[in-house]
Amino acid sequence: MGIYLNPGNDQFRKMLRSKIYVDKSNLIAYTNDVIDSEMAYLCVSRPRRFGKSTAANMLCAYYSNGVDSELLFKDQKIAQSPSFHEHLNKHHVLMFNIQQFIRGAKSPENFVDFIEQKILYEVKEQYKGLVRENETSLPDALTSVYVKTNECNPGFIFIIDEWDCIFREMKDNEIIQKDYLDFLRDLIKDRVYVKLAYMTGILPIKKYGTHSALNIFEEFSMTDSKSLASFVGFTEDEVKQLCIDYNMEFDGAKQWYDGYTFGDNLHIYNPKSIVDAMRNQKFKSYWTRTETYEALRIYIDMNFDGLKDAIIFMVGGGKYRINPEKFQNDMTNFKSKDDVLTLLVHLGYLAYDEGKQSVFIPNMEIAGEFRNAIDGSKGWERLAGILRDSEDLLESTLNLDQDAVAQGIDKVHTEHISILSYNNENSLSCVITLAYFYARKNYLLVREFPSGKGFADIVFLPVKYVNSPAIVVELKWDKSVYGALAQIKDRKYVDALKDYSGNILLVAISYNKKTKRHDCIIEKYSL
């Protein structure tokens, strides 16, 4: 075993010994299917803590020559695949984490050469006599090894973890970035010795001009997940099972960590947050253990037309349409608010609806990061005040204080009338969910909730571990508030809550264009 060449299965063995392990080995069935083909170049980009390195270590353990991993995989899903034994420990693997080279290189200018020479040294040691001692090119060395051992060498598999960290840590150094991309291109593209190349990172592959230096790669990203979505991150079924195993309420996991959706409504959860919640037996934000809200503040403070409007709209529970195609896949070349919002998707601060091409704040954990970034930030003082006042508004609602609720919503409307378009029930809905921001701590807020003979505008569903009443909200724009309350009753909106035991609050809210005031009626209803 080596450091980079055939590093073995020790990391995967440690993963299997973890208290919480979720089997993602069917990813191997996919890579086995594309190996040694034109589709054998995969780039999987996900935010931090989404299990990218876990998947990379698993692939390394499976393919690495010189070790026996059969016992490690015999109880995994991949063991049932017809291709299981075909490739098990039969390939030479070159696995390296780019982050480690950044720390080891003495200077940015030395970075690319440092990578090449560290790996080349190990290749020369492993294949003495097959590589010239004075060889300075890693691609030439690997070509020599492959040609001279062609009959017994099944080729090399490349697993490159944190491939994009140079674009995050040297984000202003385009010369080094281009040199690095050229190095990867020369190492992998059109090389006969490459049988599979699997890269992981946060950002998709960097675009330069009209083409990418690594255009051979198929990308599986947060905005275009394709068929690998279920293999990086926990699926909803996997989270449900963990909640059963650890005696935790699934509603809490969904409220705090759900929201990242891919393809055909596949829900993916952040593995690190789920694991921490299960181990600590508590639902809360674990995001700041990896990254602070200061990183988010940098981007929401950028001075692009419409960016602040979009952030406020999403904090209010809305989805904002973007075009992610123009994003250059780096952290410096921003030309519009869409570029900034697309970056926030790749960083995990926003979720992306592929069907509607819209972004939104996915869950309570990330909503808390937005609240922290907004609180105390220059230019966001009014919104920060509204978010702080939202606790009082919820309390007034639970106390049936209709006047206080109406006044609280008036304040939100007055503070943001110049920012939020306020001319229909949809914009009124945004203001309401913004005003009730604090309620997300104890409730799932569902817009257009299907119930009875139609859709309730907003329903507040209490999570099971919270003793609070459900709330059904109907909104009217320049119409009678009494009509709104009658609609809740006539269309039997509460019927959808028949399995809920406890009181329900019926809340009718209407905005009067002439008076520019809100009216509110609250009634208690018992099933």
**The pLDDT value given to residue 495:** 81
pTM for the structure as a whole: 0.90
Which two three-digit tokens encode residue 393? 């508004």
User: Please, which pLDDT band fits residue 253 given cuts at 50, 70 and 90?
Assistant: very high
Going by pLDDT thresholds of 50, 70 and 90, the confidence category of residue 465 is low
In whole angstroms, how large is the CA radius of gyration of the chain? 27
Q: What is the mean pLDDT of residues 463-467?
A: 74
Contact 398, 468 (CB under 8 A): yes
pLDDT at 315 over 50: yes
Q: What is the pLDDT of residue 154?
A: 81
Q: What is the pLDDT of residue 452?
A: 63
Mean pLDDT of 21-40: 96
Say if CB 319 and CB 358 are below 8 A apart. yes
Q: Which domains does the chain have, with CATH numbers?
A: 10-231 (3.40.50), 234-374 (no CATH), 388-526 (3.40.1350)
Compute the distance between CA of residue 365 and CA of residue 282 in angstroms, rounded to an integer. 13
How are beta strands 470-477 and 503-512 bridged, if at all? parallel
* 241 Cβ contact partners less than 8 Å away, ≥ 6 residues apart: none
Average pLDDT (252-256) is: 92
Residue type (1 letter), 182: D
The closest of 418, 432, 419, 414 to 484, measured between CA atoms, is: 432
Q: How many CB atoms lie within 10 A of CB 517?
A: 15
Residue percentage of the chain with pLDDT more than 70: 94
Task: For residue 352, give the 3-state DSSP assignment.
Answer: strand
Instruction: State how far the Cα of 522 lies from the Cα of 500, in Å rounded to an integer.
Output: 19
pLDDT digits (tens, 9 = 90+) for 478-527: 899 999 999 988 888 888 887 777 789 999 999 888 888 999 999 998 77
Specify the pLDDT at position 210: 45
Q: Where are the alpha helices (DSSP H) in 74-170?
A: 84-87, 98-104, 111-126, 138-148, 165-169
pLDDT of 422 = 63
Residue 187 in contact with residue 156, Cβ under 8 Å? no
CA dist 28 and 24 (Å) reads 8
pLDDT of residue 377: 83
Type of residue numbered 320: Y
Asked if the model's pLDDT at residue 294 lies above 70, the reply is yes
**b or e along 127-142 (b: 16 or more beta carbons within 10 Å of the residue's beta carbon)?**
beebbeeeeeebbebb
Chain Cα centroid distance, residue 353:
12
Q: What tens digit of pLDDT does each residue of 113-159 get?
A: 999 999 999 999 999 889 998 999 999 999 999 998 876 778 899 99
Kindly report which listed range (49-53, 92-96, 147-151) carries the lowest average pLDDT score.
147-151
425: buried, middle or exposed (CB in 10 Å: 19+, 13-18, 0-12)?
A: middle
Among 67, 195, 91, 83, CA closest to 152: 91
Between strands 320-321 and 260-262, the pairing is unpaired
Per-residue b or e along 437-458, where b marks 16 or more CB atoms closer than 10 Å to that residue's CB: bbbbbbbbbbbebebbeebbbb
442 Cβ contact partners less than 8 Å away, ≥ 6 residues apart: 462, 463, 466, 468
Question: Which value, to the nearest 10 degrees, does the dihedral of the CA atoms of residues 382, 387, 393, 398 take?
Answer: 180
The pLDDT score that the predictor gives to residue 421 is 59
- Say which range, 204-208, 280-284, 381-385, has the weakest mean pLDDT: 204-208
- Mean predicted lDDT score pLDDT of the chain: 89
Burial class (CB in 10 A: 0-12, 13-18, 19+), 245: exposed
DSSP assignment of 281-294 = T--S--GGGT--HH
pLDDT band at 382 (very low <50, low <70, confident <90, very high): confident
| Confidence band of 291 (pLDDT split at 50, 70, 90) | low
Using an 8 Å Cβ cutoff, are 151 and 157 in contact?
Answer: no
* Least-confidence region, from 60-74, 178-192, 286-300: 286-300
- How far is residue 432's CA from residue 208's CA, in Å, rounded to a whole number? 43
d(C-alpha 261, C-alpha 239), whole Å? 14
Tokens of 39: 């589709």
Distances (CA, A) of 371 to 298, 299, 305, 334: 14, 14, 21, 24
Of 286, 274, 267, nearest to 248 by C-alpha is 274
Q: Tell me the one-letter amino acid at 430.
A: C
